[in-house]
Chain A
Amino acid sequence: MALLDTITHREKAKQHRPWSRAVVTEAGWRQAIEQLATGRCTLLGLWGDAPVVHMALLAEDFSDIAVISYTCKDGSYPSVSARHPPAGRLERAIRDLTGLDAFGAPDARTWLDLGFWKVRHPLGKATPAHKPQPYQFLPVEGEGLHQIPVGPVHAGIIEPGHFRFTANGEHVVRLEQRLGYVHKGIESLMQGATLEQAGKLAGRTSGDSTVAYSYAFAQAIEAALQATVPARAIYLRALMAELERLANHFGDIGAICNDASFALMHAQTGILRERTLRAAEACFGHRLMMDAIVPGGVARDIAEGGAAQIQEFLIEVRRVFPRLIELYDNTASLQDRTVTTGFVKPEFARQFGAGGYVGRASGRGFDARRTPGYAPYDKLTFDVPVLDAGDVNARVWIRIREVEQSLALIEQILGRLPAGKIHTPVKAKGKACEGLGLTEAFRGDVLIWLRLDGKGRIERCHLRDASWFQWPLLEVAIKDNIVADFPICNKSFNCSYSGHDL
């Protein structure tokens, strides 16, 4: 049954692709909230487009996606988070950016606006900012508790954010995150941007997932403009995406072990990561493959000799990686740190719609490449590994299994890379149109929704990183663990700050 069959709606937007967008009244909006709260569908996104709020939903069996839109009355809409907590931070972000208020929301605090912008509601009716109110962290009561504030500047080469730990001795009683420090106003810069400018912004939303973002952005544009992409470009996109996944998984596996002071693994996977980036540079001229995927195809064809270099790289990985898996599996001191640490209950993974290894290590087998799926993955063979242990160890094993799957995918892609051109220019439609893109980045699904004007410029673009639904679970995962295990828990999630803060 299609998602929209169960939600009362007035009409469907005519120029919204590839999935439907329906305009709803309060009744329809509340039906959707009820379905979310009772687990019959998953929240895929919630964003403001003043005076409208849009909500993207994913069917329970992952087969269908729908967007519903509610026009606010007096600047407010019925709160989703009042019944369905995963919407909480999204609603707070909507209010900070557009001024639209979630009526009945349990948490009225700001989220992305830390009080430094000099403007309020930059995506709505912008007004000069007031003097910021001091931020109230959640109260914690009990005997023998102390607080440890960390950040925004962290003790490492990492992104900034604030963590407020409340601990009883060594045990974490509560972690509260405060993010937003790297908010750059990407969605505001998108408004009125050309496709080229907007593509660059999308590709710099979270640098580690630049390919996945460019990919989702291109999908959304192509859906909106009903553009076709040459077959060769479709395969090259997947090749880039799998190289990006490999590079990140290698880096993460080592970094997680490094946070358990097992530097040998870090050194070894660091070599594999570097080899991946060098192969990417040899093929596509850029180590992170930034701006390589563009609407209509890809910007660069694989360089001469590039395929051979990737084959060599695959042989090297297949020689080294099994030994590293064995090393991970047989080192008791390492297992001692990762097994049972940072547990995420499968119920939470499902409720929050956690994507990537966070979801798949806690029993949620969602992978956008599989369902709803997109080309060329529908023609390629791969497994989506799922575990239900939900600990740091399970998140490492999901990455290990995904490395193996990506290697096999790259072999298939190289084996059947079609000849032909790599780009078809996209043309403006002469009227407003909307598109939605959903790709699987290494850390989970990236959703991009946009509306173009008749001249092919961006009117509104919303980008939703997988981290939005993973960060809150990190707060739960660290509970009852010791403070010293926070880095390893955090790294096993490796959420994006920039992708979240926008």
Chain B
Amino acid sequence: MRKVLFDSFIRGPLTEKAPKPDEAGLAELAKAVNRAARTRLGRSLSIRQVDAGSCNGCELEIHALNNAFYDLERLGLHFVASPRHADVLMVTGPVTKSMREALKRTYNATPDPKWVIAVGTCAADGGIFAGSYAVEGGVKDVVPVDLTIPGCPPNPKALLAGLLALLQNAA
């Protein structure tokens, strides 16, 4: 274990400079967020990820946000295990009919003020699964959405840019 730790120590951090907040995201958010929320939350946001029907591709890239290259926590953002601890819901997937109720309940269990980010092309409008008997549609068809990060799947940089846009507006 010492070898691995020592190696990390002498080689310096891998963490890269964070991207600029997403411009389109900033514009979308400007409408949604008010000053009161900013004062209450400070510069930190807790995120609860909800898979409402994704193929798991988006989950892989959301996971990557925690690796040494992107290191989400340095920016005051972190993932939590319960919606009751969350400020932000990151929702992936076309919302399947079978997950609709679970997503609604998760949303209702999240205390105000809260924001919802629809992650990925399927979360935006159902993507290639739109129109199926088993699919409700995009996230916005079930709960209010504040920010959409498109991509199939969006890469970690795009996710980070979106989250920073949210942080700049919300906190």
Contact = CB atoms under 8 A, between A and B. Distances in A.
**SS class of chain B's interface: helix, strand, loop or mixed?**
mixed
Given A182-B96, A273-B67, A189 B128 contact: yes
Interface in A148-194: 152-153, 155-160, 180-186, 188-189
B102 A207 contact: no
Contact of B60 (A153, A183, A207, A323): A207
B58 A184 contact: no
A206 interface: yes
A140 interface: no
A27 interface: no
Interface residues of B, number: 51
Contacts, number: 147
Contacts of B100: 116
Interface residues of A, number: 53
Given A117-B133, A184-B132, A271-B69, A159 B97 contact: no
Given A116-B100, A181-B96, A271-B68, A157 B59 contact: yes
Contact of A270 (B4, B66, B97, B99): B66
A277 B60 CA distance: 11
Of A204, A208, A330, chain B has the most CB atoms within 10 Å of the CB of: A204
Given A184-B94, A189-B129, A264 B68 contact: no
B102 A160 contact: yes
A84 interface: no
B57 A204 contact: yes
Contacts of B168: none
Contacts of B102: 152-153, 160, 181
Interface in A75-114: 114
A498 B55 contact: yes
Contacts of B69: 271, 274
A252 to B, nearest CB: 11
B28 interface: no
Contact of B128 (A153, A201, A251, A496): A201
A375 interface: no
Given A251-B63, A271-B69, A182 B54 contact: yes
B60 A208 contact: yes
Nearest to A162: B102
A324 interface: yes
Interface stretch (B17-25, B36-44, B45-53, B139-147): B45-53
Given A156-B81, A200-B128, A118 B55 contact: no
6 contacts: A183-B98, A184-B129, A201-B128, A264-B4, A267-B67, A331-B1
